Amino acid sequence: MPKRARALRPELWEAIEAADVVFHAGDWVDAALLDELERRSRRLVGVWGNNDGPDLRARLPEVARVEIGGVRFAMVHETGSAQGREKRCAARFPDADVLVFGHSHIPWDTAAPNGLRLLNPGSPTDRRRQPACTYMTGTIGDGGLRDVVLVPLGQAPASGRPPADP
């Protein structure tokens, strides 16, 4: 939550409150956001990011791992450069089905050769070079993650693969 974004948009809070699980891939910046997400979500999985201070790092792991509906998730804030990301993450997270990551604020949805799916939902507060602030939704069913949708805030949901991280 960068200082220039004073509050999360109402439609994002609605999505958070409706979700069974909320993932946050770091850069909370303020512990008050963590407190509010813990209060308003049914289940929260989070990690700390490079902009998070000691108070947040004391409450959150650098890497989170959870299994939901038979799908093994790993989450980390930073994965390094886009070049070679799939291969590097497949080696680092060999027993995950899905890796959620943040840092770049650039949406990402690819798969490594071993099948690891890499997802970056962008950012609901800091669009950087993107046309809109975003988040992602997905459904777990039949033992897998499906129906992953990149949702631009203030616009209709976008489908298909987002632009690659330069």
Domain ranges, ordered by start, for the chain: 10-152
User: Which residues are within 8 A (CB) of 39 and not within 5 positions of it... i.e. 6 or more apart?
Assistant: none
Q: Are 118 and 49 in contact (CB under 8 A)?
A: no
Residues 63-66: contacts with CB within 8 Å, 24+ apart?
Answer: 65/96, 66/21
Contact 12, 37 (CB under 8 A): no
Higher pLDDT, 51 or 130: 51
Cα–Cα distance measured from residue 3 to residue 26, given in angstroms and rounded to the nearest whole number: 15
Mean pLDDT across 68-95: 96
Quick: pLDDT tens for 82-108.
999 999 999 999 999 999 999 988 899
Residue 160 has pLDDT above 70, yes or no: no
CA distances to 4, 10, 22, 25, 108 from 153, rounded to whole Å, are 16, 10, 17, 18, 16
Q: Specify the fold of 10-152.
A: Purple Acid Phosphatase; chain A, domain 2 (3.60.21)
Higher model confidence: residue 163 or residue 79? Answer: 79
What is the Cα–Cα distance from 129 to 75, expressed in whole angstroms? Answer: 23
Q: What is the pLDDT confidence band of residue 6, given thresholds at 50, 70 and 90?
A: low
